[in-house]
Amino acid sequence: MTIIPDTSRKILQPATLLGASPSPGVGGDRPGISGAGHRPVDGPKPASVRVPSPEELEELARHSQRLEAATPEEIITWAVERYFPRLTMATAFGPEGCVILSMLARIEPRVYVFNLDTGYQFQETLELRDRIAERYGIVVDFQRPELSVEEYERLNGGPVYKTDPDRCCFQRKIEVLHRVARGFDAWMSGIRRDQSPHRANAPIVGWDKKFGLVKISPLANWTRKQVWDRIVYENIPYNPLHDRGYTSIGCWPCTRPVLLGEDERAGRWSGTGKIECGLHTAD
């Protein structure tokens, strides 16, 4: 199937793409949004997620194996042909996300792309969204928790990231992704196997049991160098914090520049023992 990009660059919200009623919270402006109710970290699980059949899992594994030799563009094209418009992508505007956005602009710019805006992102990250929109015509949607940072901290007696970063990530990111995931069949992420031992076995195509979605990682077998070579070659917009020693960028309270010789993700939750926000872990 030949994929014809929509040159109008009109940004479609998930409800428009999926022919559903507008969902609360989509595309809202700061501060806070309406949407699913705020849940405590140890409270009831968000809406039940789909469980695939063994046959479906086998089929995904076959596709993943076959796509090991494919380029990221071929993987994205496969994902679009198979899942669009029920395909989405989450990006924190890391270098990998920016590269995938540059590819999506050529392949299918109507894929719904969103950013989990915790309220704690760097200003440079937020501004990158505008630079991406200018360059590619893709307006990444901000998806936010129900409570603004001010409300959240007031309710919890201060910043939760200082006392319980797992709960903060759950309530500011994971719950939001659960809400967004409803109505989609598959999501793409920019994770690479060489980012950390934890990600070393990430498949190109797999089942994300946490969110009940097919998960596609077009850059899983790319290296950091390949990503940056593409950024330089195509002059793809990227976060200027990378030029100031930040190799992996999340929320400002939980991110620091890395030192020479440190792991790429050493600046995330430094000194806490925490290594992932939970989006890319199986449980």
By beta-carbon proximity to ligand SF4, the closer residue of 9 and 256 is 256
- Interface residue with ligand SF4, options 33, 98, 138, 169 (CB under 6 A): 169
| Paired sense of beta strands 213-216 and 205-208, if any | antiparallel
Q: How far is the CB of 87 from ligand SF4 (least distance, A)?
A: 25
Closest CA to 186 of 100, 87, 80, 111: 87
Q: Give yes or no for residue 120 binding ligand SF4 (CB under 6 A).
A: yes
Q: How far is the CB of 236 from ligand SF4 (least distance, A)?
A: 24
Q: Give yes or no for residue 210 binding ligand SF4 (CB under 6 A).
A: no
By beta-carbon proximity to ligand SF4, the closer residue of 9 and 38 is 38
For 169, counting Cβ atoms within 10 Å of its Cβ (0-12 exposed, 13-18 middle, 19+ buried), the class is buried
By CB under 6 A, which span of 12-20, 40-48, 166-174, 214-222 interacts with ligand SF4? 166-174
Active site residue 251: no
| Paired sense of beta strands 141-143 and 112-116, if any | parallel
Binding-residue pattern over the window 146 to 165 for ligand SF4, x denoting contact by CB under 6 A: ---------------x---x
DSSP 173: I
Q: Give yes or no for residue 168 binding ligand SF4 (CB under 6 A).
A: yes
Q: Give yes or no for residue 64 binding ligand SF4 (CB under 6 A).
A: no
Q: Scanning residues 224 to 263, which ones bind ligand SF4 (CB under 6 A)?
A: 250-251, 253-254
Closest CA to 97 of 199, 174, 2, 187: 187
Q: How far is the CB of 45 from ligand SF4 (least distance, A)?
A: 19
Side-chain half-sphere CA neighbours of 109 within 13 A: 18
Task: Identify the residue whose tokens are 């990444």.
Answer: 140
Q: Give yes or no for residue 174 binding ligand SF4 (CB under 6 A).
A: no
Catalytic hit among 98, 168, 251, 277: 277
DSSP 37: P
Q: How far is the CB of 271 from ligand SF4 (least distance, A)?
A: 13
Structure tokens at 191: 């994770």
Residue environment code for 117-135, b if the CB has 16+ CB neighbours within 10 A, otherwise e: bbbbbbebbeebbebbbeb
Q: How far apart (Å, rounded) are the C-alpha atoms in residues 156 and 161?
A: 11
Orientation angle between helical segments 54-67 and 72-83, nearest 10 degrees: 150
Q: Give yes or no for residue 267 binding ligand SF4 (CB under 6 A).
A: no
Q: How far is the CB of 174 from ligand SF4 (least distance, A)?
A: 9
Active site residues: 277
Site residues (vs ligand SF4, CB under 6 A): 118, 120, 161, 165, 168-169, 172-173, 250-251, 253-254, 277
